[in-house]
Amino acid sequence: MSLSLRSAVRLNLILLLIPVFLWLLLLIILPHIDMLLVSTQVKVRPRVYEFSFANYGEFFSEPLYWRTFARTAIMSIAATLLTLVIAFPVAYYIAKMLRGRMKSFLFLLCLVPFWVSELVRTFGWMILLRESGVFSNLFQWIGFADGPVEMLYNDATIMVGLIYTSMLFMVVPLVTILDSLDDSLVEAGYDLGGNAFTVLRTIIIPHAMPGIVSGCIVVFMLTLGNYLTPVLLGGKDSLWFTAQIYTQFITRFNWELGAAFGFLLLFLSSMIVWMGLKLSRQTLTETMG
């Protein structure tokens, strides 16, 4: 009887999981297998393709491609760290200093950027930062600048745009984790002789580590996969790997190379996340649980 009960439970579990598996299979695994197959094709003549890993070789042999990737990865890491540095005090303030309505208000404030689409948001930045834009005129009016100031089209602007877009995804896990930090732990840290820095280093950060890591993973992946912000704000020098993939797929009709790039992005970014987890001595289950 207990045996049949157990098998019934198992059957239920299987039934419950079927949609999940189907969804995984149809929307994630199958397209990726297809992509993988495409990425190993090389065009020899129009309409004639051959199996080869030349597309992957191309990534490493053409400096443009791997440099673009390296640049994208480094800027994404920098954007992630900067977002963390900015979001941490904000999250700490929301989680620990505020109560009641102010708390939800500030939390909502972090959501504001998401009330409009990414495109509109990016155009907003462009209106503010362009040479004939709001800030430029303001600076001239105040007297900070003699002529129009161009603030668009450089890496710093890309950074600002990326951080702005990522804030929420860092603040939410941080607030959640800091909320769960017992105030008395912080007080005990001080009471036993710690100063602000040691309390932060030995108590608050270790406690917040799972939140920090999960926030960083999300922000890193979002930034790495961002397309509009770097392309629109970056101008003529904006080399972003997703833009390269887009170019290969859409303007070059080179699906094979684009697919290979897609896989390299997936693989290399997973490697970076894995290294990040190793460095911070966290496990994926800890962070996502």
Partner 1 sequence: MFIKKGKLLTGIMLGTGLILTTLQTNAETLRLLTWGGYAPEKVVEMFKAETGIKVEVTNSNNEEMISKLRATGGAGFDLAQPSQDRIAGAQSEYEIYKPIDLSKVDASKFITSMLEGTKKNTTVDGKVYGVPHVWGTSALTVNTKVAPDVKDYLDLCNPKYAGKVSYRMKRPTLIAFAFAMGLDPFAAYGDTTSYKMIMDKVEAKLIECKPNVKAYWSGGDALINLIRSDEVVAAMAWDGSGWKVNAEKPEVKTIAPTSGALGWIDTFALPKKTKAENAAYQWINFVMRPEIAAMITEAAGNFTAAKDGDKFVEESKRMRFQETFPAAAIDNIKWYPPVPAGLEDMEGKVLDRVQAAK
Partner 2 sequence: MTEQGPGGGHAPSYDLECRNLVCRFGDFVAVNDVSFGVPEGDFFSILGPSGCGKTTILRMMAGFLQPTSGDFLIKGKSVIDMPPNRRPINMVFQHLALFPMMTVAENIAYGLLRQGINRIDARKKVEDALERIGLPGSGEKKIKQLSGGQQQRVAIARCLVLEPAALLLDEPLGALDLKLREHMKVELKKMQDQFGTTFVYITHDQSEALVMSDHVAVMNQGRFEQIGTPQDLYYQPATAFVAGFVGDTNRWQGRVESVDRDTVKVITQDGVQLLATAAGGEALSQGSQVEIFVRPEAVVITLESERITSQDNRITGELISVLFNGANSRALIRDRHTGGELDVALPQTGEFSHLQRGQEVHLGWSLAHAKAFIQKESGG
Q: Site residues (CB under 8 A) for partner 2?
A: 182, 184-185, 187-195, 198, 202-203, 206-207
Q: How far is CA 146 from CA 87, 151, 192, in A?
A: 34, 15, 55
Sign of the Cα torsion 209, 211, 215, 221 reads positive
**CA 28, CA 184: separation in Å to the nearest integer?**
45
Q: Which of 1, 2, 47, 101 binds partner 1 (CB under 8 A)?
A: 47
**CA 47, CA 70: separation in Å to the nearest integer?**
33
Nearer CB in complex with partner 1: 10/252? 252
Nearer CB in complex with partner 2: 204/268? 204
**CA 22, CA 25: separation in Å to the nearest integer?**
5
Contact range with partner 1 by CB under 8 A, out of 81-89, 97-105, 130-138, 201-209 = 130-138
DSSP state at residue 112: G
Nearer CB in complex with partner 2: 42/199? 199
Nearer CB in complex with partner 1: 201/252? 252
Q: Which two tokens stand for residue 1?
A: 């009887």
Q: Which residue has the tokens 């090389």?
A: 42
User: From the CB of 251, what's the least distance to partner 1, in Å?
Assistant: 4
Residue 267 touches partner 1, criterion: CB under 8 A: no
Are 75 and 159 a contacting pair, CB within 8 Å?
Answer: yes
Q: What is the contact surface with partner 1 in residues (CB under 8 A)?
A: 23, 27, 46-47, 64, 67-68, 130-132, 148, 150, 152-153, 169, 172-173, 214, 217-218, 221, 235-237, 239, 244, 247, 249-255, 288-289
